[in-house]
């Protein structure tokens, strides 16, 4: 087992996120975080975890695997996920995943179709292309009509673009600020900052301390951390190459079709690199949007 330099777990890794927010002893952390972004009428007092794998109603339907899936005390459904890199159809995937907690509410026999609220919460380690010029990092998406009036208030998509959060410790103002600071900086901290002295963060730092992990948890975390770092390296490399290709395309053609072809080629290159690094086809398709069939042909 290798010696880890960090004192605290990285919450953006699969293991770190589920360790801090996906276990019964630590559910108070998830409740406190979610209550910073939920409307007043849907503040959570308690929640229970449900299975994170959802199967379709028929054998032909695809399954959905969420990072976390939980139920609020009043029946609300929450899908909570960390998305480490862009993928071609991320928004489509969010809509598709939200359909599972809607469909599971169906009742046999006479039913009035009353639904409990469904929330999809995405903690994004990237910025949407169409929001790059905006400073706003919290996006709440609802179903609205042509007059921008809310048509249905029980289906919400909440996205947080973490790279846009640049505040330092002395600039933290709200409880939400402090949570975002934790997501961005926890694994790089050596001590608990003075700005994070609330009881809830005491619980967080205690749960995040790697020295408290069992040997099995250490191994699982190291594997998860390696995947996170490898993925980040692949994405960063592709981004740098993409910028260079984009500059050349702009000089030579400046055409939208050329950019689209460039994006497709970069996705294929990312897929080839990830396959060579040992990533599974499911992991590759989640990042690139390529089909399993396309990946297996590489």
pLDDT tens sequence across 226-241: 988 887 787 767 666 6
Highest mean pLDDT among 79-93, 187-201, 241-255, 282-296: 187-201
Dump pLDDT digits (tens) for 2-19. Answer: 567 899 999 999 999 999
**Order of strands, sheet of 68-72, starting from the edge strand that comes earlier in the sequence:** 47-49, 68-72, 77-83, 118-124, 150-161, 138-144
Which of 76-90, 113-127, 137-151 shows the lowest mean pLDDT across its residues? 76-90
Confidence at 200, pLDDT banded by 50, 70, 90: very high
- CB distance 22 to 67 below 8 Å: yes
- Per-residue pLDDT, averaged over 285-289, amounts to 72
Both structure tokens of 170: 């002395």
- CB distance 234 to 270 below 8 Å: yes
Q: Please tell me whether residue 132 adopts helix, strand or coil conformation.
A: coil
Confidence at 59, pLDDT banded by 50, 70, 90: very low
State the pTM of this model. Answer: 0.77
Confidence at 84, pLDDT banded by 50, 70, 90: confident
pLDDT at 60: 38
Alpha carbon distance 224, 16 (integer Å): 8
pLDDT at 249: 54
Dump pLDDT digits (tens) for 112-132. Answer: 999 999 999 999 999 998 888
Look at 18 and 284; give whichever has higher pLDDT. Answer: 18
CA atoms within 13 A on the CB side of 72: 21
Where are any strands of DSSP class E within the chain?
Answer: 47-49, 53-54, 64-65, 68-72, 77-83, 118-124, 138-144, 150-161
- Per-residue pLDDT, averaged over 248-262, amounts to 52
Confidence at 40, pLDDT banded by 50, 70, 90: confident
pLDDT at 65: 65
């Amino acid at each position: 087992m290798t010696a880890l330099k960090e004192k605290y777990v990285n919450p953006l890794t699969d293991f770190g996120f589920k360790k801090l927010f996906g276990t019964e002893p630590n559910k108070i952390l998830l409740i406190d975080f979610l209550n910073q972004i939920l409307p007043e009428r849907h503040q959570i007092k308690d929640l229970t975890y449900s299975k994170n794998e959802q199967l379709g109603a028929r054998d032909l339907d695809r399954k959905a695997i969420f990072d976390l899936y939980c139920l609020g005390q009043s029946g609300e459904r929450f899908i909570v996920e960390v998305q480490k890199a862009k993928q071609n159809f991320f928004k489509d995937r969010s809509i598709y995943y939200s359909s599972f907690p809607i469909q599971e509410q169906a009742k046999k026999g006479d039913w009035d179709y009353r639904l409990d609220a469904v929330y999809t919460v995405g903690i994004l380690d990237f910025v949407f292309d169409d929001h790059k010029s905006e400073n706003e990092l919290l996006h709440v998406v609802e179903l609205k009509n042509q007059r921008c009036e809310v048509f249905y208030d029980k289906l919400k998509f909440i996205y947080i673009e973490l790279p846009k959060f640049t505040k330092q410790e002395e600039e933290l103002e709200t409880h939400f600020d402090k949570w975002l600071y934790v997501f961005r900086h926890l694994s790089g901290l050596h001590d608990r900052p003075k700005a994070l002295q609330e009881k809830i963060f005491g619980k967080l730092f205690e749960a995040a301390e790697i020295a408290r992990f069992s040997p099995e948890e250490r191994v699982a975390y190291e594997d998860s951390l390696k995947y996170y770092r490898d993925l980040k390296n692949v994405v960063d490399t592709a981004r740098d190459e993409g910028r260079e290709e984009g500059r050349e395309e702009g000089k030579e053609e400046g055409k939208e079709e050329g950019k689209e072809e460039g994006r497709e080629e970069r996705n294929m290159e990312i897929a080839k690199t990830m396959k060579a690094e040992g990533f599974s086809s499911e992991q590759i398709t989640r990042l690139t949007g390529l089909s399993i069939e396309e990946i297996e042909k590489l």
